[in-house]
Amino acid sequence: MDAIQINQVTKTYRVGATQTHALDHINLTIGEGEFTALVGPSGSGKTTLLQMIGCLDKPDQGTVLIKGQDVTRLNSNQRADLRRSSIGFVFQFFALVPVLTAYENVELPLLLNGMKTSERRTRVMELLDAVGLADRAHHRPDQLSGGQQQRVAIARALGPRPVLVLADEPTANLDTANGHQAMEIMQRLNQETGTAFVYATHDPRVIAFARRVVKMEDGKIIDSP
């Protein structure tokens, strides 16, 4: 079964008298374990599409199916449940909870999922190890570099073993070396865990990591191999 199936999804923003068709009857399928880049010019609708897939927002029309389940019918609590169990997020700005340490940030979604303490501890350390930050476990975000913060965010996203990780311009605020490292880690974890990754980017070097590239323009998908 496909991880994600998007049918005729439309999203229109209205600001005053102007309407923006951020998403215009989009159809897209993402298989399990994919490593896909979402590319397109600024304003083409990449972020909006990731929000629909990630159950952060509802489309005006159309359906989004995650593992066959239509998530557009869910209420906000049910969507929160689904996000918690099935979807990981990596944001452009390293969106860690500032008052929690790296360890606690990675732990948070596991805790929300009700994982047992002993199991949780092992899992958090395993994840921090996977992103090469086991020795930074008790640092607060402001004591970590941007690249390290982004790696913590990747570890956090993978904690609950989601179907899919969504990353919105994960390297946009990193220098080339750190961006490269983050992409390598995502790629490796994709191969090791079989979790699908969809990431939006402008950067050709980052696009190069993808096994599939979906192109968007003006709220439409113009190329999806």
Q: Quick check: 177 binds ligand ATP (CB under 6 A)?
A: no
Q: Closer CB to other proteins, residue 97 or residue 208?
A: 97
Contact 13, 20 (CB under 8 A): yes
Q: How many other β-carbons are positioned within 10 Å of the β-carbon of residue 151?
A: 27
Find the binding residues for ligand ATP in span 178-197 (CB under 6 A). none
Q: Which of 104/218 has CB closer to ligand ATP?
A: 218
Q: Can you tell me the distance from the alpha carbon of 41 to that of 56, in angstroms, rounded to the nearest whole number?
A: 22
What residues from 152 to 181 belong to the interface with other proteins (CB under 8 A)?
156, 168
Region from 44-52, 61-69, 71-79, 108-116 binding ligand ATP, contact rule CB under 6 A: 44-52
Choose the binding region for other proteins from 83-91, 130-138, 190-198, 206-214 (rule: CB under 8 A). Answer: 83-91
Q: Which is nearer to other proteins, 31 or 137 (CB)?
A: 137
**Alpha helix stretches (DSSP H) within 63-203:** 76-86, 102-112, 117-130, 146-158, 176-193
Phi, psi angle pair for 145, to nearest 5°: -75, 165
Q: Does 47 bind ligand ATP (CB under 6 A)?
A: yes
Instruction: List the structure tokens of 216.
Output: 């968007």
Consecutive H or E run containing 49? helix 46-53
17, 42, 114, 177: residue in contact with ligand ATP (rule CB under 6 A): 42
Least Å distance, CB 129 to ligand ATP, is 32
The residue within the footprint of Mg ion, chosen from 7, 10, 12, 47 (CB under 5 A), is 47
- Report the residue from 46, 79, 123, 151 that binds ligand ATP according to the rule CB under 6 A: 46
CA 67/CA 2 separation, integer angstroms: 6
Main-chain phi, psi angles of 164, to 5 degrees? -155, 140
* C-alpha span between 3 and 203 (Å, rounded): 25
Q: Does position 20 bind Mg ion by CB under 5 A?
A: no
- DSSP E strands, the chain: 4-15, 18-30, 35-39, 61-66, 69-70, 87-90, 164-168, 196-201, 212-217, 220-223
Among 3, 4, 9, 22, binds ligand ATP (CB under 6 A): 22
117-156 residues in contact with other proteins (CB under 8 A) are 156
What span, in angstroms and rounded, lies between the C-alpha atoms of 22 and 48?
Answer: 7
* Interacting residues toward ligand ATP by CB under 6 A: 13, 15, 20, 22, 40, 42-48
* Interacting residues toward other proteins by CB under 8 A: 47, 50-51, 54, 56-57, 76-77, 80-85, 89, 91-93, 95-100, 104, 108-109, 111-114, 156, 168
